[in-house]
Amino acid sequence: MEFELLKRIVEAALLASSTPLSLPQLFTLFAEDEQPNHDDLARALAELARDSEGRGIELKEVASGFRYQVRAEVNPWVSRLWTERQTRYSRAQLETLALIAYRQPITRGEIENIRGVAVSSNIVKTLEEREWIRTVGHRDVPGRPELFGTTRAFLDYFNLKSLDELPPLAEIRDLQDFEPQLGLAPVANDTADETESTSPQHETITAEATELHATSEEHDLADEGDTTTTSADTAPAPTEHTP
């Protein structure tokens, strides 16, 4: 197969797909007698990424594969195409998500100990329904509390290939730094949890989140005296795609 044709096929598939496409998924586009080799497919993706330089879209690799998406600098204009009301996330939800992302696997009780307030069941439910977190196991203690971890959908939404790409916790000064490229909706009041205070999205993360970094030794889940039972690595989950 001619290389230029290969590029056009890959480009069209990425634009047509509503989710990121991995290399194995891209290989399934071709019949057995016309499949490109791995090097040609990788080169096609690299050239497509270069071709999008200086344009309003970019080819981005995230946890689930490759996708075209709107560049951050033009998002304020493009986002006006979406007239439906955006989901609003409370400060408590974002702080809980940050704790799970940085300290996973972690139990609800451990989150409450770090934040100093009770975690509403609605917060956990919302994050699970958004497919950003999932139960990855149970701690081997009385009651066997659930251990929470993030999913590939979380990585995809926040434009990450892996958890290693999360910025150091000490560098997170504002909730905006924890946004995906297209931005989260403004922070809403968390009416489900009266113990949680809320604030505008761009307000600095409070002492609860900072305390996570300062007390990492105390709450280290990898301590030799702490035994856990966890499931396999998180599986891919459907994500929103920005053509």
Per-residue pLDDT reduced to its tens digit, 42-85:
999 999 999 999 999 999 999 999 999 999 899 889 988 887 66
Q: What is the dihedral angle through the alpha carbons of 101, 106, 112, 116, rounded to the nearest 10 degrees?
A: -60
The alpha helices in 59-179, defined as continuous H runs, are 75-78, 91-103, 108-115, 121-129, 152-157
pLDDT digits (tens, 9 = 90+) for 67-78: 999 998 998 899
Cα atoms in the 13 Å half-sphere on the side-chain side of 30: 19
Stretch (H or E) spanning 9: helix 3-16
Between 100 and 230, residue with greater pLDDT: 100
- At residue 84, the pLDDT reads 67
Residues of the chain within CATH 1.10.10.10 domain(s) are: 3-81, 91-230
Q: At 176, which helix (H) or strand (E)?
A: none
CATH 3.40.50.720 for the 91-230 domain, yes or no: no
Q: Is the pTM of this model over 0.85?
A: no
In the 8-state DSSP scheme, what is residue 21?
Answer: B
CATH of domain 3-81: 1.10.10.10
Between 46 and 229, the more confident residue is 46
Q: How far is CA 83 from CA 3, 48, 79, 80, 219, in A?
A: 40, 30, 9, 7, 43
